[in-house]
């Protein structure tokens, strides 16, 4: 907590049993606190399961939280090859599921339990007197429809953004006719070569978006087209050029990600993927056979793309409705905690300029409430799993009353060469640790051109070498952040690199 005189918390609700939510629980347990993990799915990381076929860009060494590792190793668990690249399913099966079953965490996880609202016990948002002395009430609803209220000392919201996709229409609004439940709506990361192969074989698919989620789907569709006659692939982006997504190629410190950009460019240049740039969607006109006409605009002229399937890889945004009764200090631009927002705003910064950060940057006016993981980044696509792990380590220390540990933020990240210093008009994809629907879902891949993967570790920031970056969260040193209405904020010096 930000107030050093506040007594340590005892019970802490953790919303979401994804990578960052379970890491939070592990750190809380190590600190002698009691976590109560609320997971909407029937197992850990339910949102990641929805893109389990996709391989992360970040190797295992960046995907495992240190406290979680300690709990697992005490049970005889052996970590996977640190240089291996797990799929989303492997991240769950080889790491998160065993972690959730440890005796320290298992009794504290409630599956099939969705948090629907958070408030201060006995008062609404307008009440100030004695507010800080009141515990939190978390209202939940089970899969069976049963309602229950949970009273705790603090709340860590790691519910992610997977359940809140950005609209496909222009202006940040859903276009007329846009319907994520329609027959033609394929979601952000369909299993093109696996379980959903028949849905795409011999069909016309439009992929919208310019992040790594889009790239993954495009590459799989192009491969499918080689084997299935009649399969066509169209890629629509709002920006004038896809160069940012093509990235640094061999210069990318995450080789799997650099390869994706290189291969995608080759397919576009060969005509295997039909690229439509500068395309803004005005409306969707569904046909009786389940296909759809996507009506848009290119350079002032109407353009219609006929498709049987539309993959919406345009990123996500946080669900703030459940927090209506919490006093939040959020940035009006990216909807992230106000102190964090200037460090991650994609209008001015790439993931390479995002410094490590902890509890002091995440604290809210309602003391003891925190947004973490992908949700803490709001609409910014520069999140990385390792960043989320350090967030919750710092928060657990603060909740336990260890201010010194909370303020010492250290992070070990890979170098990368794909970050862009300017923001494309294209909304980017998911971001790391998929913190999604009630679980650290996939918000897993910061598809900002900087994602680490479907990245369950989607875009983050890193140093030029994989060595720790240490900062004091209350006295950040060297470097100045510019870009917002004359704002100036001291930043720790990063030696380059990003998006690990």
The answer to whether residue 111 scores a pLDDT higher than 80 is yes
Domain end point (choices 278, 312, 346): 312
Q: What are the distances in angstroms from CA 145 to CA 101, 113, 141, 319, 413?
A: 25, 9, 6, 20, 42
Say which range, 4-13, 64-73, 279-288, 371-380, has the weakest mean pLDDT: 4-13
In the predicted structure, residue 444 carries a pLDDT above the cut 70:
no
In this prediction the pTM is: 0.82
Residue 461 sits in the same domain as residue 477: yes
Provide the number of structural domains found in the chain.
Answer: 2
Q: Is 274 helix (H, G, I), strand (E, B) or coil?
A: strand
According to DSSP, the β-strands at 369-371 and 232-236 are unpaired
Phi, psi of 316 (to 5 degrees): -140, 170
> Residue 489: CA atoms inside 13 Å, Cβ hemisphere, count?
21
pLDDT in tens, 404-417: 999 998 876 655 43
Q: Is residue 477 part of a domain?
A: yes
∠ Cα 449 452 455 (to 5°) = 110
Range of the domain at 335: 11-163+316-490
Closest of 153, 161, 165 to residue 14, by C-alpha: 153
Final residue belonging to a domain, choices 256, 288, 312: 312
Is residue 34 a contact partner of residue 28, using CB atoms and an 8 Å limit?
A: yes
Q: Quick one: pLDDT band at residue 469, thresholds 50, 70, 90?
A: very low
Distances in Å between the Cα of 169 and the Cα atoms of 178, 284, 406, 417 are 8, 9, 41, 31
Q: What is the pLDDT of residue 261?
A: 83
Residue 249 has pLDDT above 60, yes or no: no
Query: Which of 281, 312, 343 is where one domain is finished?
Result: 312
Dihedral sign (CA 129, 137, 6, 330): negative
Residue 91 is assigned to a structural domain of this protein: yes
- Residue 434, pLDDT above cutoff 90: no
Q: Which residues of 385-400 are buried (b: 16+ CB within 10 A; e: fewer)?
A: bbbbbbbbbbbbbbbb
Name every residue whose Cβ is closer than 8 Å to that of residue 117 and which is 6 or more positions away in sequence. Answer: 138, 139, 322, 323, 324, 325
More confident residue, 430 or 295: 295
| pLDDT above 90 for 452 | no
Q: Provide the pairing of β-strand 489-490 with 480-481.
A: antiparallel
| CATH number for position 66 | 3.50.50.60
How crowded is residue 174: how many other Cβ atoms within 10 Å of its Cβ?
16
Q: Say whether both 159 and 67 belong to one domain.
A: yes
Is 340 in the same domain as 360? yes
Q: What is the pLDDT of residues 180-228, one digit of tens each?
A: 999 999 999 999 999 999 999 999 999 999 888 899 899 999 999 999 9
CA distance 328 to 326: 6
Q: Is 50 exceeded by the pLDDT of residue 464?
A: no
Max CA separation in the chain (angstroms) = 69
* pLDDT band with cut points at 50, 70 and 90 for residue 105: very high
The angle subtended at Cα 167 by Cα 164 and Cα 172, nearest 5°, is 115
Residues 260 and 275 in one domain: yes
Query: Tokens 């680490």 identify what position?
Result: 452
Count of CB atoms within 10 A of residue 38's CB? 27
* 220 plus 283 within the same structural domain: yes
Q: Are residues 34 and 146 in the same domain?
A: yes
Does residue 471 sit in the same domain as residue 323? Answer: yes
pLDDT higher than 50, residue 474: no
- Return the higher-pLDDT residue of 245 and 432: 245
């Amino acid at each position: 907590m930000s107030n050093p005189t506040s007594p340590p918390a005892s019970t802490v609700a953790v919303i979401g049993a994804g990578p960052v939510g379970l890491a939070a629980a592990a750190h809380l347990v190590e600190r002698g606190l009691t976590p109560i993990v609320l997971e909407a799915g029937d197992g850990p990381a339910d949102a990641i399961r929805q893109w389990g076929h996709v391989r992360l860009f970040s190797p295992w060494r960046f995907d495992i939280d240190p406290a979680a590792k300690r709990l697992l190793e005490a049970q005889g668990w052996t970590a996977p090859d640190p240089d291996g690249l797990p799929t989303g399913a492997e991240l769950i099966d080889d790491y998160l599921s065993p972690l959730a079953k440890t005796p320290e965490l298992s009794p504290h996880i409630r599956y099939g339990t969705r948090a629907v609202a958070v408030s201060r016990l006995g008062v609404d948002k307008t009440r100030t007197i004695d507010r800080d002395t009141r515990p939190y009430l978390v209202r939940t609803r089970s899969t069976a429809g049963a309602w229950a209220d949970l009273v705790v000392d603090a709340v860590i919201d790691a519910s992610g953004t997977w359940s809140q996709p950005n609209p496909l229409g222009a202006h940040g609004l859903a276009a007329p006719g846009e319907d994520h439940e329609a027959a033609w709506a394929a979601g952000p990361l369909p299993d093109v070569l696996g379980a959903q192969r028949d849905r795409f074989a011999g069909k016309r698919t439009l992929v919208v978006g310019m992040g790594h989620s889009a790239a993954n789907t495009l590459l799989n569709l192009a491969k499918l087209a080689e084997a299935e006659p009649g399969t066509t692939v169209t890629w629509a982006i709002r920006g004038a050029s896809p160069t940012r997504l093509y990235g640094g190629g061999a210069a990318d410190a995450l080789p799997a990600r650099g390869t994706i950009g290189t291969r995608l460019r080759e397919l576009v240049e060969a005509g295997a993927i039909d690229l439509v740039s500068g395309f803004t969607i005005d409306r969707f006109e569904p046909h009786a056979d389940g296909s759809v006409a996507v009506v848009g605009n290119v350079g002032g002229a109407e353009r219609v793309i006929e498709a049987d399937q539309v993959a919406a890889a345009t990123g996500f945004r946080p669900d703030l409705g459940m927090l209506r009764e919490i006093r939040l200090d959020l940035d009006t631009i990216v909807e992230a905690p106000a102190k964090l927002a200037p460090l991650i705003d994609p209008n001015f910064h790439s993931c390479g300029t995002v410094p490590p950060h902890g509890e002091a940057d995440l604290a809210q006016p309602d003391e003891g409430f925190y947004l973490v993981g992908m949700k803490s980044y709001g609409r910014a696509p520069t999140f990385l799993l390792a960043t989320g792990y350090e967030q919750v380590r710092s928060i657990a220390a603060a909740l336990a009353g260890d201010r010194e540990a909370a303020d010492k933020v250290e992070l070990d990240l890979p170098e990368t060469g794909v970050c862009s210093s300017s923001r494309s008009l294209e909304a980017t994809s998911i971001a790391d640790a998929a913190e999604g629907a009630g679980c650290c879902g996939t918000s897993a891949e910061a598809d900002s051109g900087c994602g680490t993967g479907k990245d369950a570790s989607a875009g983050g920031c890193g140093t030029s070498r994989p060595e720790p970056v240490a900062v004091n969260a209350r006295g950040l040193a060297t470097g100045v952040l510019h870009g917002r209405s004359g704002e100036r904020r001291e930043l720790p010096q990063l030696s380059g690199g990003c998006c690990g």
